[in-house]
């Protein structure tokens, strides 16, 4: 079965949505599906993924998350490229990623109607909620209503929708009036082999000498307010007041806004900013840590793939008690009531004070990740989805 993937994003740029796309395609490759991905001009190739890219757009080089004016022209080019590849490869399924990808995939499906191509769309959250979290639109304005209408239309285009969080299925179904039966949960995952070869950890300690003899607390991902940056800085500010033996390792990008914020709070000497780190090296950085944090709120309904990587590394994870996070880490004592920073810092202090609790919680997380959240497990429903809709 031939699958044409459409990803309106600078794949691969070590971002959460890119990790999900790569995980899905790699797992489908291992099951014998023939996959080809159409994406933007910038980003790194992946050795096991067949990729076509649009021609370069001179003023669009940014790979970080969030709205960008260059995306509009990129999406037009992506539509033309994807149509060309659909004519060439004659796919049975168009597997789109993100909301723009669903719209592009639907247009191609309509244009090539005689081929009866089926459209499956993968979403990680609400488009409207994401734009609100970035401050691109406000909750009650005209643009909010416009994007609500656009999202409501897009959600009705695919034959089937896969989504990264159970909570988001409920939210999208209720908010936009889409039948919940149209959704299938495809949980984020991890590749077990990525967490087995950690040969370069000694080199990292030599490189980041400030980490030596410290209890290391790690955060990974986009260093943006929409991803919990402001909350993270407040947590750091509180923690360093009472502990001189801790250091925060912040793995991600962009770093400028984060560095400025930390400097304004006199926290730079208590934090290490690595900048962008290739995803293939992420397990090595996580192996240096003792505790992991995810202070992101739940405004867009996204699941948090970073938590699975934390768990796979055997780390205790402190995060807010949302339906998504509870599904990932289970009935953990490290779940914090949403928005309660006093409790968040109390949980962090408890793990810092008790190495046995850290070890026990980390081992529990690792076992849970390996039994539930490997990519070969989480993506199993895709095979039956493809078989069912192509035979109908």
User: Residue 141's pLDDT is what?
Assistant: 75
Q: Which residues sit opposite 147 in a β-bridge?
A: none
pLDDT at 120 over 90: yes
> Which distant-in-sequence residues (6+ apart) come within 8 Å of 334 by Cβ?
316, 317, 318, 319, 347, 351, 361
DSSP secondary structure string, 292-351?
A: EEE----TT----HHHHHHHHTT--EEEE--HHHHHHH-S-TTEE-TT-HHHHHHHHHHH
For 50-98, what is each residue's pLDDT tens digit? 999 999 998 888 887 767 778 899 999 999 999 999 999 999 999 999 9
CATH superfamily of 2-189+375-391: Glycogen Phosphorylase B; (3.40.50.2000)
pLDDT at 179 over 70: yes
User: Residue 198's pLDDT is what?
Assistant: 65
Pick the CATH number of 192-372 from 3.30.390.10, 3.40.50.150, 3.40.50.2000, 3.40.1830.10: 3.40.50.2000
98-111 and 142-154 helices cross at what angle (nearest 10)?
Answer: 50
pTM of the model: 0.86
- 275 φ/ψ sector (left φ>0, alpha ψ -120 to 50, else beta): left
> Which distant-in-sequence residues (6+ apart) come within 8 Å of 157 by Cβ?
102, 103, 105, 106, 119, 121
Q: Which residues sit opposite 184 in a β-bridge?
A: 162
For 33-47, what is each residue's pLDDT tens digit? 999 999 999 999 988
Percent of the chain topping pLDDT 90:
65
For 294-345, what is each residue's pLDDT tens digit? 998 765 456 678 999 999 999 999 999 988 898 899 988 899 998 899 999 9
Domain boundaries along the sequence of the chain: 2-189+375-391, 192-372
DSSP 8-state code for residue 392: -
The SS3 of residue 76 is helix
User: Residue 123's pLDDT is what?
Assistant: 92
E strand or H helix at 233, and its extent? helix 229-239
For 230-269, what is each residue's pLDDT tens digit? 999 999 999 999 999 999 999 998 899 999 999 999 999 9
For 345-356, what is each residue's pLDDT tens digit? 999 999 999 999
Q: Do domains 2-189+375-391 and 192-372 have the same CATH topology?
A: yes
Terminal Cα distance for the chain, rounded = 15
Tokens of 49: 């993924």
């Amino acid at each position: 079965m031939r699958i044409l993937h459409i990803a309106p994003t600078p794949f691969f740029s070590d971002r959460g949505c890119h990790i999900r796309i790569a995980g899905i395609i790699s797992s489908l490759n291992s099951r014998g599906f023939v996959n080809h991905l159409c994406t933007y001009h910038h980003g790194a190739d992946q050795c096991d993924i067949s990729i076509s890219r649009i021609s370069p757009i001179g003023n669009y080089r940014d790979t970080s998350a969030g709205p960008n004016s260059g995306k509009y022209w990129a999406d037009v080019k992506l539509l033309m490229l994807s149509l060309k590849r659909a004519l060439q490869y004659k796919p049975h399924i168009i597997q789109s990623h993100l909301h723009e990808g669903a719209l592009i995939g639907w247009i191609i499906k309509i244009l090539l109607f005689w081929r009866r191509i089926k459209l499956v769309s993968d979403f990680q959250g609400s488009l409207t909620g994401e734009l609100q979290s970035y401050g691109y639109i406000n909750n009650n304005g005209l643009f909010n209503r416009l994007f609500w209408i656009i999202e409501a239309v897009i959600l009705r285009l695919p034959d089937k929708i896969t989504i990264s969080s159970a909570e988001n299925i409920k939210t999208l179904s209720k908010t936009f009036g889409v039948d919940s039966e149209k959704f299938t949960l495809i949980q984020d995952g991890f590749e077990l082999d990525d967490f087995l070869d950690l040969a370069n950890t000694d080199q990292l300690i030599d490189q980041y000498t400030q980490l030596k003899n410290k209890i290391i607390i790690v955060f990974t991902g986009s260093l943006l307010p929409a991803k919990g940056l402001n909350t993270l800085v407040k947590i750091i500010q509180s923690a360093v007041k009472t502990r001189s033996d801790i250091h925060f390792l912040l793995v991600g990008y962009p770093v400028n806004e984060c560095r400025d914020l930390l400097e304004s709070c006199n926290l730079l000497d208590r934090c290490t900013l690595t900048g962008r780190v290739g995803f293939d090296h992420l397990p090595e950085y996580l192996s240096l840590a003792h505790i992991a944090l995810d202070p992101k709120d739940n405004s867009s309904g996204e699941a948090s793939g970073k938590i699975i990587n934390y768990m796979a590394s055997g780390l205790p994870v402190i995060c807010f008690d949302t339906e998504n996070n509870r599904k990932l880490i289970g009935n953990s004592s490290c779940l914090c009531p949403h928005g309660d920073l006093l409790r968040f810092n109390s949980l962090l202090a408890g793990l810092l004070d008790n190495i046995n609790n850290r070890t026990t919680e980390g081992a529990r997380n690792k076992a849970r990740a390996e039994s539930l959240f490997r990519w070969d497990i989480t993506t199993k429903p895709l095979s039956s989805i493809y078989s069912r809709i192509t035979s109908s």
